[in-house]
């Protein structure tokens, strides 16, 4: 269980550090609001509206 929690914590940390700004608005990104781009990379957004905007353009 401890190993699983460590893995989860590291994966969240990597998402936050990989994208510290929302690609739509340029505001600070929230690591709990993410989507996967066409290239398979995880992208973080500042809000659900920006995530929806990104998802509609990247289908």
Q: 51: pLDDT confidence band, cut at 50, 70 and 90?
A: very high
- Please answer whether residues 41 and 35 qualify as being in contact, where contact means their C-beta atoms are separated by less than 8 angstroms: no
Provide the number of structural domains found in the chain.
Answer: 1
Question: Which DSSP helix (H) or strand (E) runs through 36?
Answer: strand 30-36
Mean per-residue pLDDT for 33-37?
95
Q: For position 46, which CATH number holds?
A: 2.30.170
Mean per-residue pLDDT for 12-29?
75
- pTM reported for the whole predicted model: 0.65
Q: 16: pLDDT confidence band, cut at 50, 70 and 90?
A: very low
Mean pLDDT across the chain, nearest whole number?
82
Dihedral sign from CA coordinates of 46, 59, 8, 21: negative
Domain of 50 in residue numbering reads as 2-57
């Amino acid at each position: 269980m401890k190993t699983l929690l460590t893995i989860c914590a590291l994966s969240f940390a990597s998402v936050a550090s990989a994208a510290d700004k929302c690609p739509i608005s340029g505001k600070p990104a929230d690591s709990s609001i993410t989507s996967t781009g066409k290239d398979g990379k995880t992208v973080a957004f500042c809000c659900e509206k920006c995530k929806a905007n990104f998802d509609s353009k990247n289908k």
